[in-house]
Chains A and B, each alone.
Chain A
Amino acid sequence: AQSVAQPEDQVNVAEGNPLTVKCTYSVSGNPYLFWYVQYPNRGLQFLLKYITGDNLVKGSYGFEAEFNKSQTSFHLKKPSALVSDSALYFCAVRDRTSGTYKYIFGTGTRLKVLA
């Protein structure tokens, strides 16, 4: 079965420090991987995606993510966190071999950046 795991419900980091939000996945074929961010009372906003090619993907707001096939991971990273990065982050996967167009979402990780 396809699944996405975000093992941390919450991540706290001091402003200016690097941040990592973890995501691992399980799909039957090659995945398309996405990160979305949700600010309070807002819809989800696209951050970045991995389709193919370079394992390091750069996205919006200075975020990047590294696709690691052997570890089936797609961790979200940022070199220097801002207080404004505080939000709920979702990892999602689409299995390109299953024929389904839906996203499988993780349960989300709440990032809190402390001033």
Chain B
Amino acid sequence: GAGVSQSPSNKVTEKGKDVELRCDPISGHTALYWYRQSLGQGLEFLIYFQGNSAPDKSGLPSDRFSAERTGGSVSTLTIQRTQQEDSAVYLCASSLGGNFQETQYFGPGTRLLVL
């Protein structure tokens, strides 16, 4: 595709339910990143994939958060037993090969609201 796509664009869920957020990176990009943007806050790094492996999971806030990437392409971020503080915009980004100099290209985000 022409850019990074994310689905759903909006998700409303009840506290305690599980949610899955999907990211389709730019074709051919081997590096994939998840960030969280809370109201009034900067972007918070969650996890980085290079291919199917995740060498940096340091930003995942708790064990309720997990992510996987299959086939070196699509990634899914799963939040189990959602809490109200999980409400935020979740952004995915990809880059060509994970080189430090590379620009990351961001998707439009998934806006999650936990009631």
Contacts and interface: CB of A to CB of B under 8 A. Distances in A.
Contact of B106 (A41, A44, A104): A44
A88 to B, nearest CB: 10
Contact of A43 (B41, B56, B98, B107): B107
Given A44-B106, A102-B59, A51 B101 contact: yes
Given A43-B107, A101-B56, A32 B43 contact: no
B41 A103 contact: no
B65 interface: no
A36 B35 CA distance: 14
Interface in B61-115: 91, 93, 98, 100-101, 103-109
B26 to A, nearest CB: 12
Contacts of A44: 43, 91, 93, 106
B105 A101 contact: no
A80 to B, nearest CB: 25
A5 B19 CA distance: 32
A90 B42 contact: yes
Interface residues of B, number: 28
Given A101-B100, A102-B33, A103-B43, A43 B108 contact: yes
A9 to B, nearest CB: 9
30 contacts: A32-B100, A32-B101, A34-B103, A43-B91, A43-B106, A43-B107, A43-B109, A44-B93, A45-B106, A46-B103, A49-B101, A90-B42, A92-B43, A96-B100, A100-B48, A100-B58, A101-B31, A101-B50, A101-B98, A101-B100, A102-B59, A103-B35, A103-B43, A103-B45, A103-B104, A105-B35, A105-B42, A105-B44, A107-B40, A107-B41
3 tightest CB-CB pairs across the interface, nearest first? A43-B106, A105-B43, A102-B45
Given A45-B106, A102-B59, A103-B104, 12 more contacts: A4-B42, A36-B106, A41-B108, A46-B103, A49-B103, A90-B42, A90-B43, A100-B48, A101-B55, A105-B35, A105-B45, A107-B41
